[in-house]
Structure 1
Amino acid sequence: MVANDWPISRLNMNLQGMEPSATVSINERSNQLRAEGVQIYKLGLGQSPFPVPPSLAQALRDNASQKDYLPSQGLPSLRRAIADYYHRELSLSYQPESILVGPGSKELMFILQLALDGELLLPSPSWVSYAPQAKIIGRPVNWLPTRYEDGLKLTAQTLEQNCENGGERPRLLVLNSPNNPTGVCYHPNELKALADVARRHRLLVLSDEIYGAVSFSGEQDSIARYYPEGTIISNGVSKWCGAGGWRLGAMLFPPQLQPLLQAMITIASETFTSTSAPVQFASVWAFEDSSELTSYQRDCRAILSGLGRHCWQRLQAAGAELPEPSGGFYLFPSFEPLRAQLEARGVSNGRQLADRLLGDTGVAVLPGECFGRPAEELSLRLAFVDFDGTRALAGLTNASRPEEHWLRRYCAPVVTAIDLMVDWLGS
């Protein structure tokens, strides 16, 4: 049998019709267009624009010779540092034995769903990979509606209504704050209300805190503070240490969920075996208390806060509806208020809008349907990270939020991209 005759019927049925990750695809398409000489503004992939902190990079160089297989659960000193970090930052108590380290939080989320037998509950919109992972494994996904009036946050009332109608089947709720794709953070009173519903209905909660240290206020919170017995925390070094390509993630489990942790360790041992040894040894530094990291994160937050607010104001003034960002590096505007004029230009859904923006302005964004919004909705996700983070950090003279003249100098591609979008909308 030649390769071209290999029958598709032999593929896992769950994979039929699936495409590669939308964020990865838009990044590769943008790079290809740039290679062809097209001016592209990359607002599609959410990768930190900032360099890895110098001491963390040095730690990796110092540990380059580490070559042994480490425990599948992770390097003990790294797990201890992560436990100390959560006690220091959020007053949460975890033992190193209750932490699992993996090659990126994305991989750990996949094996979490593999180890569980239940339904996935996702606020709409949510990050692009939660639902496809569930589909690959064969788990049902239940999208929970959100409204722009509520900042696109899941409310306790909506969760309560879903649970009342959902029977007794096991459910995993994913909560991400600061949020990808909206840029919003959940407030303590909102987390407490959601925790009350989750406890009453015995939900399992995955608190995705990969952007926790990129909350613009500098204050982190977690639903685990209000529902510790039923919450798993996910984190890593990709967003707040600029080390996405290092692929280092971790999950923290309460004592009540130790059987689940043990099941995931078994899966880890039979799949990725262990996470890169040099990366694990180096990453101990990332979770320790240091003035260098504190200053680095403070400056990154100042730049992202100023840039996010500028983009939010410009799009809002142009007629878009969107929540003000309070963490991370994303915006999720709806252009429904401009539907009539966009339909007159042949644009009636989010995918058409994203395609037209790319073709007419060179601005690469993703349609809202990639994140669980209705296909007909005129919504987009923007990642405002297309700038030289090393240069921006060097040009920051104080820790206050920079003004427009500074942003136009140090974050020019993003500011220009928003200008082009606004001009296109008004043309």
Structure 2
Amino acid sequence: MLDASVSGVVPSPTLAINERVAGLRASGRDVLHLGLGQSPFPVPEHVVAALQANAHQKDYLPVRGLPDLRAAVADYHRRHEGSRASAEDVLVGPGTKELMFGMTLALDATLLLPNPSWVSYAPQAKLLKRAVRWVETDPAAGWRLTPNALEAALAEGGGHRILVLNSPNNPTGAAYTPAELEALAAVARRHGILVLSDEIYSGVHHTGAHASFARYYPEGSVVSNGLSKWCGAGGWRLGAFVFPRELRPLLDAMAVIASESFSAVAAPIQYAAVSAFRDDPALKPYLQRSRAVLAGVGGALREALVAAGLRVSHPEGGFYLFAELPESRHPSGLALCEALLEDAGVAALPGSAFGRPAAEPSMRLAYVDFDGAAAMRHAPAGVDAAFLAAHCGRVLEAGRRIAAFVRD
């Protein structure tokens, strides 16, 4: 008696590939894992210490989140993005994924998704019987959404719309500039749409120059962030949404949904997260090293793939490349990635998982298969070719294997 909205939805491709790689490795296969976008770096030591110190915390916390944590999140966004947020504007959840689900449930609206987009936006909408409108992007423009494309999509009408904008981007690694965000904000404001600005990779913008969409459209933007990517704590499941005062009714509605679903995020995690969002001096060198390593290894992998004839996005933030073969002997992107895994031992996700046409020979590569703790220790000496060979060799080897696979 399954509902129709569930029967056609498959497990998240990122989690599925992770389980498959684990099984292959357990059987003795040497698989280079570029399929799962998980931070390779350890959680900062002062944040781990805070979790240890609060392991005894056992009580239910407020549905909207620990007050000190909500204040710390608001302060983080004021410091880094010029936000006007206060603690009352913050909702904490067990990862931003759960909060996105709650937001989609709370709003009867069509999701506007730049193509390609992260794997779970569209499936969540399908589960909740919400419409999705894909908005095409231009590979020559780094797969970025343009004001003209957004204007054309909005001109079609269709009731309430939510634009989901992710920068730095998964799967392309692109990061929007202030000028690009300002131009998109002008279109969003003219049409009065709601924008979910997914900024989960803000802390790992490769030059530290992240720009928040909410700076240019504060009254209509909900900002999503959390500990998974820039703090290395994906398994802790801690995310937060920051709302403008104009959207307080949405925050209130999502808090009601939270009260009847996850109740509250685990208490020890929330207490520990306060130290992550505060302006701790230990966090600055941690982020500087993370960014330097990711910029170095992402650039090196791109260089190898471009030399092999692939069209590859420029990595500007996060830890992803989006690559497309000029031609392929495989009938689909999925078949391409299956062959790459079986023949070359490299795990990747097909572009179709992110909204691209099934026949397109494209794939996302997450350049994170290296020992992040060791890389972090040695990064202060400089990230050069010798460093990458010593500490990110598996990612470089993946580039060589992909190049050989394409040539063959």
* TM tier, smaller: over 0.9
Instruction: Please say if residues 204 and 317 of structure 2, whose CA atoms lie closer than 8 Å, have aligned partners that are also in contact.
Output: yes
**C-alpha deviation, 1:305, in angstroms:** 0.2
Quote the Cα distance in structure 1 between the aligned partners of 2:163 and 2:227.
23
Q: Give the 5 Å matches for 1:49-198.
A: 49-167=40-158, 169-198=159-188
TM-score normalized with structure 2 length: 0.99
Which amino acid counterpart does residue 19 of structure 1 have in structure 2?
A: V
Supply the distance in 1 between the matched residues of 2:251 and 2:13 (Cα, whole angstroms): 30
Equivalent position to 2:282, from 286, 292, 301? 292
Mean alpha-carbon deviation: is it higher for 105-114 or for 411-420? 411-420
Write the mapping of 1:169-318 to structure 2, written as runs, cut at 5 A.
169-318=159-308
AA partner of residue 372 (structure 1): G
User: Equivalents in 2 of 1:85, 1:288: separation in Å?
Assistant: 7
Equivalent residue for 1:389?
Answer: 372
Residue type at the aligned position of 1:315 = L
Write the distance in 1 (CA, Å) between the matches of 2:379 and 2:79: 28
2-structure distance, mates of 1:229, 1:191 = 15
SS in 1 for 2:380: coil
Offset of 1:404 from its aligned partner? 2.1
Residue type of the partner of 1:370?
Answer: A
Corresponding residue to 1:376 among 352, 359, 366: 359
Corresponding position of 1:423:
404
Tell me the equivalent position of 1:5: none
* 1:358 aligned residue (327, 341, 359): 341
Structure 1: which 5+ runs fail to align?
1-9
Determine the C-alpha separation between the residues in 2 that align with 1:420 and 1:395: 26
What code does the residue aligned with 2:344 have? T
Question: Shift in Å at residue 269 of structure 1?
Answer: 0.5
Matched, 1:14 2:14: no
Aligned length: 408
Q: What CA distance in whole angstroms lies between the structure 2 residues aligned with 1:327 and 1:50?
A: 15
The whole-number CA distance in structure 2 between the counterparts of 1:114 and 1:38 is 42
1:17: how far off?
A: 2.0
CA RMSD of aligned residues (A): 0.8
Whole-Å separation in 2 of the counterparts to 1:95 and 1:181: 31
Instruction: State the alpha-carbon separation in 1 of the partners of residues 312 and 406 from structure 2.
Output: 15
**What's the CA shift for 1:90?**
1.3
Aligned to 2:384: 403
Moved over 6 A (4+): none
How far apart are residue 290 of structure 1 and its match? Answer: 1.6
Mapped to 2, the partners of 1:97 and 1:33 lie a distance apart of 47
Task: Return the letter of the residue paired with 2:49.
Answer: Q
Distance 1:81 1:396 in 2: 29
How many Å apart are 1:417 and its aligned residue? 0.9
In the TM superposition, residue 352 of structure 1 has moved relative to its aligned partner by 1.2
TM-aligned CA deviation for residue 151 of structure 1: 0.4
Equivalent-residue separation in structure 1 for 2:248 and 2:313 (angstroms): 38
Calculate percent identity across the aligned residue pairs.
Answer: 52
The superposition leaves residues 20-66 of structure 1 with CA deviations (integer Å, 9 ceiling, x where unpaired) of: 00000000000000000011111000000000111100000000000
2-side partners of 1:208 and 1:120: how far apart?
Answer: 14
Contact 2:289–2:380 at 8 Å: present in 1 too?
A: no
Distance 1:397 1:263 in 2: 46
Give the Å deviation of 1:423: 1.3
Unmatched runs of 5 consecutive residues or more in structure 2: none
SS at match of 1:289: coil
**Cα drift, residue 105 of structure 1:** 0.4
TM-score if structure 1 supplies the norm length?
A: 0.94
1:333 counterpart SS class: strand
Distance in 2 of aligned mates of 1:185 and 1:211: 10
Could you tell me which amino acid in structure 1 is paired with residue 34 of structure 2?
Answer: L
Contact 2:92 2:241 in 1 (8 A): yes
Deviation of 1:152 (Å): 0.2
Q: Distance in 2 between matches of 1:219 and 1:286?
A: 19
Q: Secondary structure at the match of 2:312?
A: coil
Q: Shift of residue 257 of structure 1?
A: 0.4
